[in-house]
Structure 1
């Protein structure tokens, strides 16, 4: 990002070259966030995303990792700010971003928000269904979890595990 700032301030390249450099920086940034999240360094990933926020435009590559880091920190307030950016930059229609939001809200016990994201999705993949079912089951809301489970186009081992776990933790079997 710093070389890009230098080039932009000194008008050393055309807008199209600047855009290409920004996209390359964004991809590297997304990869760095991905590595930090996979290593369990959610706080470092979140700090990096906040520090770089004005330097790198959020996009469909970077936002899922920023959202994942918020989920890892169980930080719904920051997640809601990121969700606002998702809406602001028109990135709601990307399934990876939407699934990351579902996971965030589910892990942070914000199931009303999670359900809103789910309802607004145009393409609900199996990850979306499983994230929402897992959230309801984890909180013991088994009627809602079962209702979603019954509506799923098809179930997977993840779906069944979430349901069984929810029932056994609440001793409802």
Structure 2
């Protein structure tokens, strides 16, 4: 093991990872903890209807930062299908950091995808049985990201953006997720 590998295994990863939710986050406000684990993604829509292409992806969620945040990695196509020459339009290897904000009693959500330069900021809350995240793309375009059809082993995730007309919401992405066994 070289020094870089040792730093990751003995320093960085243990310092980042947390075994669960911090005790100062009320259980009722634990909006994202159920996501912890790994998921297979069926990509239905990614800027356009891609369902006929049967694009797959994967996502992995974990508690981090002493249990005050849930971080994920969204990957499309999955690691087993990635190559150096990916179509940039369907290249996703990004991370979301969801940090509990006790003052707001909500989650501050930041998504970054270095493969495409995408950066988004949202506020996430539970609304009924769904999780609704409202914010904006880096260019100021209003967005809503929704977790719906939530079950212990499945969910549907959609992302919509407001068109310039200020009325019409356009579907940008839709993923159907199944928990990996």
TM-score for both structures, normalised by structure 1 = 0.28
Between Structure 1 and Structure 2, the one with more strand by share is 2
Between Structure 1 and Structure 2, the one with more helix by share is 1
Larger radius of gyration: 1
Q: Which has the higher contact order (CA 8 A, sep 6+)?
A: 2
